[in-house]
Amino acid sequence: MKRSGHCLCGAVSYEVADEVTEMGACHCEMCRRWTGGIYLSFRAVPDAVSIEGGENLSIFASSPWAERAFCKICGSSLYYRVTAEGPYQGTYHFAAGSLDDHDGIALTGQVYIDKKPKAYAFRQSTKDYTEAEILAMFADVTDPS
Ligand SMILES: [Zn+2]
Ligand SMILES: [Zn+2]
């Protein structure tokens, strides 16, 4: 099943040809500030992605290994994308909130769980990772040496 989504004003839309059944939450400080809350996203490989209205995207290099794209008209967060060389280069993490249809997608993971503000928590049990666990996982990808 193809997934589709768009920003609030509709100037940017996208389609993902791959099966999407999982989404994850990121509680890191960058995602919190970027979205104004929790970044809920689903993963898509570059070959499966087509974007319409890409000229309306503003792309912000938020770290040496990733960029974040948002609609320059309405400000909607649309995707986080890995730019670092390595096995994850080009991988998109689309904002789940931009999806047209959430059927069949479960929240299965949370990252930077140790950075989550205590004010809220998801009720379902998920596979969770701390900042240290995530950094260890990506150390070989983000380290240029
Ligand atoms: Zn927009
Ligand atoms: Zn994050």
How many Å apart are CA 56 and CA 118, to the nearest integer?
A: 36
Q: Does domain 3-142 have CATH number 3.30.450.20?
A: no
Percentage of residues of the chain with pLDDT beyond 70: 96
Note the pLDDT of residue 138. Answer: 72
Ion ligand 2: residues, CB < 5 A: 26, 28, 31
Show me where the domains of the chain are located.
Answer: 3-142
Residue 50 CA to ligand 1 centre (angstroms): 16
Ligand closest to 74 (CA) is 1
Angle in degrees, CA 137, 119, 92, rounded to 5: 35
Note the pLDDT of residue 142. Answer: 53
For residue 10, give the nearest of 68, 76, 63 by alpha carbon.
76
Residue 31 CA to ligand 2 centre (angstroms): 4
DSSP assignment of 117-137: -TT---SS--EEE-HHHHHHH
* Average pLDDT for the chain: 94
**In the predicted structure, residue 145 carries a pLDDT above the cut 80:** no
Angle in degrees, CA 134, 135, 136, rounded to 5: 90
Note the pLDDT of residue 139. Answer: 72
What are the pLDDT digits (tens) for 66-93?
999 999 999 999 999 999 998 899 999 9
What are the pLDDT digits (tens) for 50-60?
999 999 999 99
Residue 49 CA to ligand 2 centre (angstroms): 21
Q: Backbone phi, then psi, for 35, in 5-degree steps?
A: -100, -15
